[in-house]
Amino acid sequence: MVFACFGEKKKVVIAMAHIGALPGTPNYDADGGMAKLVDGVLADVEKLQTGGVDAIMFGNENDRPYVFKAPPEGIAAMTAVVEAVKPHLAVPFGVNYLWDPTASVSIGAVTGASFVREIFTGLFASDMGLWQPDCAAAARLRRTLGRQDMKMLFNINAEFAHSLDQRPIELRARSAVFSSMADAILVSGPLTGQPAEASQLRSVCETVKDVPVFANTGVNIDNVGDILAMASGVVIGTHFKVDGNTWNPVEGARVKRFMDRVASLR
């Protein structure tokens, strides 16, 4: 069992539901407005659930270029979208506001999410500048909002960035569990849709024994067997999209084929 919200399921598949660009961002469709955002996510959620995924995570991947501090309009809009979609969910859900830990916790807490994902620890040189998340503020906010049950999934190696901490990744992961009380560790590739280095994922899985370890990017039907032989689960977005393109809608047939493959591995 990975988390209680998944029951007895093992080797969990968390699918991304990418919300369209939120208000205030360069790609926001003001003509379509909030209704278009909700409709787009609902269409993806329906295909993901029909395909059999174990959980859904709402993310704002379309809000490029990304920021470290979520603006009020972004938090409000993402909260509204998740609340609108919630009645249609039959699986546990999580949220991730890129790249703001406290915003992710805020939205997750008030919408009833089972988990949140973010970069909570470390120091990175990134496309967005110097990246220094505040894990303590996010953890204290979770406590203040009375959501100690909501799991915090730590993406330990940031996409679009290079860690300035020269410790091996497995030691950084182990330290995050010990010092920052990570509920799970996620290992990513260098960019969205690109897989983590197999050696890094293996090292983290062999070192971190107290909490689940997930592959966070680049999982597909061809490599999922090798990945699930090591990890407790996967987070998957790009592979489920039409033509395997991150910015396209979800393709139901791709989801079904992938989940059939996972069923044969469980």
DSSP 12-55: EEEEEEEPPPPTTSTT--TTTHHHHHHHHHHHHHHHHHHHT-SE
pLDDT of residue 207: 98
Cα(123)–Cα(181) distance, rounded to whole angstroms? 17
- What are the pLDDT digits (tens) for 149-170? 999 999 999 999 999 999 999 9
Its pTM stands at 0.97
pLDDT level of residue 1 (50, 70, 90 thresholds): low
pLDDT level of residue 10 (50, 70, 90 thresholds): confident
- What are the pLDDT digits (tens) for 124-144? 999 999 999 999 999 999 999
pLDDT of residue 30: 98
Q: Average pLDDT, stretch 191-214?
A: 96
